[in-house]
Amino acid sequence: MSAIIFDCDGVLADTEHDGHLPAFNQTFKEFNLPVQWSEADYNEKVQIGGGKERMASILTPNFVQKAGLPSDAEKQSKMLVEWHLRKTDIYKEMVKGGRLPGRPGIARLTKEAIAAGWTLVVASTSAEESVRTVLEFVVGKEQAAHFHVFAGDMVPKKKPAPDIYLLAKERLNLSPQDTLAIEDSHNGLMAAVGAGFRCLVTVSTYSKHEDLSEALLVVSDLGEPNSPMRIIANRSRAKPGDYITLEDVRACIKT
């Protein structure tokens, strides 16, 4: 059966810039941590897969000493879990408050795929709770119920490792010959390709200048009839117009 695997952050919504970054910074503030990430800082942090892993990157010996944090690894691990739980709650509040609108074409393509009987999947390194909140907000609860969600700590290695894709592939018996991944970054693209899937990329705030040469099709977004997308690179059989349709997805898979 044909399938589409969506990433969450940067694909369903531009969550990194408008959601995760301010949620991280608010969390740091609430825990009295002497750090606030700038956009330039976060441009580097998005290369790290997983929220807890990004938070862990601040725990250098100098920072730990300066902030008066425990140096014990077990205590730091528990502390990171607490920080990340609060960050997830802040982020979910932002999504539910309508601060992270879905990216063009997501709800439309989802509706088309459901009607055609396709398998729909989300494969993300973000916390599962956050992913489900974004998914329901972007496509609606009724359509979200059609998705299989693989996210967060379901696998030990985060993107660019292919683990989350391999898990979805195994659990759902997905065939690379009938499946297209939709990602927004080099890390996500490498994860998808590493699992044997063809990939379409919709660039987001932090991925515009990344190497996306492994993608079959690179576009500004999926587009809408009244809001045309921009084609950045096309190495597929698809010949899209103003927006990506299910026929374009089929053409990418068969490339």
Distant-in-sequence, close-in-space partners of 204: CB < 8 Å, separation ≥ 6: 9, 10, 11, 14, 16, 17, 103, 184, 185
The letter for the amino acid at 176 is P
- Tokens standing for 197? 């899937």
Edge-to-edge order in the sheet of strand 231-234: 147-150, 119-123, 3-6, 179-183, 198-202, 217-219, 231-234
Alpha helix segments (H runs only) across 97-230: 106-115, 128-139, 141-144, 163-172, 186-194
**Whole-number Å distance between alpha carbons of 88 and 130:** 6
On whether the CB atoms of residues 95 and 14 are closer than 8 A, the answer is no
Annotation marks residue 248 as catalytic: no
Give how far Cα 150 sits from Cα of 21, 172, 249, Å: 22, 11, 21
**In the block, which residue shows the tokens 């309508």?**
98
Going by the DSSP 8-state scheme, the letter that residue 230 receives in this structure is -
- Tokens standing for 252? 């990418």
On whether the CB atoms of residues 5 and 180 are closer than 8 A, the answer is yes
Exposed e or buried b per residue across 143-171, where buried means at least 16 C-beta atoms within 10 angstroms of its C-beta? bbeebebbbbebbeebbbbbbbbbebbee
Annotation marks residue 89 as catalytic: no
Query: Annotated catalytic residue: which of 9, 184, 221, 248?
Result: 9
Q: What are the catalytic residues?
A: 7, 9
